[in-house]
Structure 1
Amino acid sequence: MGIEQLQKDSIALLKQLISIQSFSKEEDKTADAIEHFLQERNIKTNRKLNNIWAYNKYFDAAKPTLLLNSHHDTVKPNSGYTRDPYDATVEDGKLYGLGSNDAGGCLVSLVATFLYYYESEDLVYNICLATTAEEEISGNNGLEYVLPDLGELEFAIVGEPTQMNLAIAERGLLVLDCTSHGKAGHAAREEGDNAIYKALKDIDWFRSYRFSKVSEMFGPLKMSVTIINSGSQHNVVPATCNFTVDVRVTDAYTNEEVLKIIRTNVDCDVKPRSVRLKPSSIDKEHPIVVSGVALGRTTYGSPTTSDQALLSIPSLKVGPGDSARSHMADEYVYVNEVEEGIALYIKMLEPVIKGK
């Protein structure tokens, strides 16, 4: 199928997806639409919950597999909308609608790229297309839920709006619930062991500690104490003090390494809410990055978190649209951004998956 027809079909699919409400955990109807779009083109699809995936026609288990992934869930429209968020209209080249930019334009562009290469017999990589759910809430029933079903993967392209520039690294996230323990007593009689004072020592460590390894892309790892709670009444020395720490992990460390360093240095109990959202990166010399740079794309480190955080393989975040428009009122993507995104995805992949 020619690129122009793929571009036309992709815009039509994007308009259809915009018209369907697909909040996180409620993506069944957009999953139906994507499934139907692929099946009417004689592509065998797989489905678990609201996740749809498919493989190229000449899949060969002896070859490595490339993952093309983006999400079809959206946040809820904010109160600033002046348009119907589900009315996919084009004005002055802008396609308006909830999810148009984040990440509908990316998703349909990756679908088009998959279709472009679907019937190629000379690929050195298999292609797995996965359109997934619950990205906006980092949910358990999205990409993470189906990863075991996708098979062994060599590297991934994750579709998020980057103006088709190359996010070659992404911060991870640890949210830590910390508890300092003391002993209750009467404040007037100087009884007890004040848990707040104990917490202050650890909080000062979080404020001042500098990790030895510094990311080339992001600089130093950042830790911020964001919530604190202790005490029940003015004359009682508190026995516990609870506080929360937001840790933005760079590609210089794994989440587990950071957690071990923290626990070695503080006295409080430290419980991570999750270690799932890992820092991610891909080597600057990886063929897909080299190909993108050769097409004039720039590389950078992304401060925002995506489904990249769930992948343990090299991954590149790239897609049409602008991250600054994500979750904004009257969200839009330019039609020509999607059209150019499709062409660029195809050109970027060609020397990689055809071995040229």
Structure 2
Amino acid sequence: MEQKEPQSSMSKDINILYNEAVELLKELITTPSFSKEEGDTAALIGKFFALKGIAASRVGNNIFALNEHFDESKPTILLNSHHDTVKPNKGYTLNPFEAIEKEAKLFGLGSNDAGGSLVALIATFLHFYPLQNLNYNLALAATAEEEISGTGGIEMILPFLPKINCAIVGEPTQMQMAVAERGLMVLDCVAHGKAGHAARNEGENALYKAIKDIEWFQNYPFEKNSELLGACKFNVTSIETENKQHNVVPAQCRFIVDVRVNELYSFDELLQIIKANVQSDVTPRSTRLKSTNIALNHPLVQAGTTLGRTYYGSPTTSDKALMPFPALKIGPGDSARSHTADEFIYTNEIKEGIELYIQLLNQLLL
């Protein structure tokens, strides 16, 4: 049964919401907010809510707010996106901290990833904020450190939120539904040998041992392939020895493996496979960023399908990986523009995002 949106004189007109969202995004663009340095944008978002008469709380550089008629007896949906950015690359021809609107585009660092999603979700929250008799509660969280998967972001704020039943995570997906994400695990590997003089062919060359292990990573045939995410992937991305002398056989060789995991393998399972097949010592840096998926029969996905949205598996990782509840990644913009020089979002994508977020929540029945 579709939710019938309550009528309220306080509910916002879409055009007003859109204009406010674009103005907020312009302010965010002009306020640098690199990961771990988001204090000014957190203050900006907090001030935005204060001017609306909405009580918002701050935990670290994270801001959250609840709908006006919050009811603990109802399920709660989290609307989440991030306000931190990567640093601008050297290819920029425009000032990354100047919000430039031209040719139906809004240029600026963080405009696409994920400023457009963030302001569209804030606008959606404003639309529903004063409404009574909703079927659910809404919590809005603008979080930090997403770009580095830091512990000062979504993980920090979750203990301060009410019980969350499911979430909408705003990332640039062209408003299609990313129902699954690859997990990420980084491995530090050390091959051990024995130092010796190269001229006398002494010792055990740790570099050769590392190469054998690297060949295993390159050629391992994964048995379980995901329909949404494909096969898991190993990529060796760095190798070095501490020895810089040409005539000394290296006693140690270190290399790094980037592991992208589908939803069919756990990190523990992969680590057992790896350790049974390589000689090197293998140490995971973290096992926090697990592969995630939301069931295709979940009400969020069903609501999106009703609205003509398609679903897919995302190769990128987001804060969805750190959420212990079902989450759907969907938002305006295009992931292909993220982290690129002269980043931009089409302004009509923001308006479409607001409209579709509102329609999605109106369709939803938990």
TM score, norm. by length of structure 1: 0.94
2:355 paired residue number: 343
**Which string of whole-angstrom CA distances, capped at 9 and with x for unpartnered residues, describes residues 265-291 of structure 1?**
322111111112221111111111111
- CA shift, 1:190, in A, is 4.0
Counterpart among 50, 53, 67 of residue 64 in structure 2: 53
1:192-207 counterparts in 2 under 5 A? 192-207=203-218
Matched, 1:240 2:252: yes
Counterpart among 107, 118, 126 of residue 118 in structure 2: 107
> What amino acid does structure 2 have at the position aligned with 1:98?
L
Contact 1:255 1:279 in 2 (8 A): no
- CA shift, 1:33, in A, is 1.3
Inter-partner Cα distance in structure 2 for 1:196 and 1:237: 9
CA-based RMSD: 1.8
Inter-partner Cα distance in structure 1 for 2:263 and 2:309: 21
Q: Which moved more, 1:60-69 or 1:331-340?
A: 60-69
Any unmatched runs of 5+ in structure 1?
A: none
2:324 paired residue number: 312
> What amino acid does structure 2 have at the position aligned with 1:292?
G
Inter-partner Cα distance in structure 2 for 1:338 and 1:185: 63
Contact 1:210 1:220 in 2 (8 A): no
- CA shift, 1:329, in A, is 2.1
Residues 319 and 186 of structure 1: CA distance in aligned 2, closer, same or farther (over 3 Å): same
1:275 match: secondary structure: coil
> What amino acid does structure 2 have at the position aligned with 1:46?
S
Q: Which moved more, 1:18-27 or 1:224-233?
A: 224-233
Inter-partner Cα distance in structure 2 for 1:83 and 1:195: 48
- CA shift, 1:138, in A, is 2.0
Residues 200 and 87 of structure 1: CA distance in aligned 2, closer, same or farther (over 3 Å): closer
1:329 paired residue number: 341
2:143 paired residue number: 132
1:180 match: secondary structure: strand
- CA shift, 1:342, in A, is 0.2
1:22-33 counterparts in 2 under 5 A? 22-33=33-44
1:201-220 counterparts in 2 under 5 A? 201-220=212-231
Q: Percent of aligned positions with the same letter in both sequences?
A: 58
1:265 match: secondary structure: coil
Residues 151 and 105 of structure 1: CA distance in aligned 2, closer, same or farther (over 3 Å): same
Inter-partner Cα distance in structure 1 for 2:328 and 2:35: 23
1:47 match: secondary structure: strand
1:226 paired residue number: 237
Inter-partner Cα distance in structure 2 for 1:180 and 1:52: 45
1:177 paired residue number: 188
- CA shift, 1:346, in A, is 0.6
Inter-partner Cα distance in structure 1 for 2:346 and 2:198: 63
Residues 185 and 13 of structure 1: CA distance in aligned 2, closer, same or farther (over 3 Å): same
1:274 paired residue number: 286
**Which string of whole-angstrom CA distances, capped at 9 and with x for unpartnered residues, describes residues 299-327 of structure 1?**
11111222122223221111011112212
Counterpart among 233, 236, 251 of residue 263 in structure 2: 251
> What amino acid does structure 1 have at the position aligned with 2:297?
E
Contact 1:255 1:275 in 2 (8 A): yes
Q: Which moved more, 1:154-163 or 1:120-129?
A: 120-129
- CA shift, 1:235, in A, is 3.1
**Which string of whole-angstrom CA distances, capped at 9 and with x for unpartnered residues, describes residues 244-283 of structure 1?**
1111111112223322322233221111111122211111
1:79 paired residue number: 90
Inter-partner Cα distance in structure 1 for 2:71 and 2:277: 50
Residues 57 and 208 of structure 1: CA distance in aligned 2, closer, same or farther (over 3 Å): same
Inter-partner Cα distance in structure 1 for 2:209 and 2:149: 33
Any unmatched runs of 5+ in structure 2?
A: 1-10
Matched, 1:97 2:108: yes
Matched, 1:10 2:21: yes
1:57 match: secondary structure: coil
Inter-partner Cα distance in structure 1 for 2:320 and 2:125: 19
- CA shift, 1:351, in A, is 2.1
Q: Which moved more, 1:210-219 or 1:159-168?
A: 210-219
Inter-partner Cα distance in structure 1 for 2:225 and 2:218: 17
Inter-partner Cα distance in structure 1 for 2:240 and 2:169: 38
Inter-partner Cα distance in structure 2 for 1:81 and 1:198: 43
1:279-294 counterparts in 2 under 5 A? 279-294=291-306
1:153 paired residue number: 164
